[in-house]
Homo-oligomer: A and B are copies of this chain.
Amino acid sequence: MAGRIPATPEPVRPRSASVLSGDYRDAISLLPTGVSVVTAAQPEGPAGCTANAVMSLSLDPPSLLVSLATGSRTLHAVQEAGAFAVNVLAWPDRHLAQRFATVSPQERFHDVPWSLTRGAPVLTGATLSAVCNVNEAVPLLDHTVVAGTVVWLHTEDTEPTVLYRHQQHALHP
């Protein structure tokens, strides 16, 4: 078949084409992130999910940003309540990351100590808990980015959990 010329040239990938989802998923796992559980109160009980997409937005007023899947139960609860808590999971509580990502919403808080603080469920023992009032919510692609003003803070002297290469790590194990 040497020298055989195809009838049409190979399609040229347009310059704007994005990379493959699988390649991106592995690559972005090299960006270390803290592991958090974002929670909100609703009349029927607390809602929450694991979120690695949490970042500081501003120091004045103290504000942070969380990204939640549009249509998710937790996002709905956050928007209904107008408040949410970011709970950075301490290393001893790292198993909660899987729980708050996979089990049914009704079972997520089973045997997890929490308290309602400034209108949001705060997980006991989190390295950092920050309760925020919703400032703005912006849909971006399939997620909604929620900016919140921090109205309450609590910290514990425990190491946080870090996600890196799809695995959990402690900074000082």
Question: Are A153 and B24 interface neighbours, CB within 8 A?
Answer: yes
Chain A, residues 40-61, CB within 8 Å of chain B (1/0): the string is: 0000000000001111111111
Chain A, residues 104-137, CB within 8 Å of chain B (1/0): the string is: 0000000000000010000000011010010110
* Shortest Cβ gap from A131 to chain B (Å): 9
The B-contacting residues of A in range 49-80, CB under 8 angstroms, are 52-65, 67
Can you offer 21 A-B residue contacts whose CB atoms are under 8 A? Answer: A15-B151, A16-B151, A18-B62, A18-B149, A19-B150, A24-B62, A24-B130, A24-B150, A25-B59, A30-B127, A30-B155, A30-B160, A31-B160, A33-B33, A57-B140, A57-B141, A63-B141, A65-B145, A138-B140, A140-B145, A140-B147
Binding site for B on A (CB under 8 A): 15-21, 23-28, 30-34, 36, 52-65, 67, 86, 88, 118, 127-128, 130, 133, 135-136, 138, 140-143, 145, 147, 149-153, 155, 160, 162, 164, 169, 171
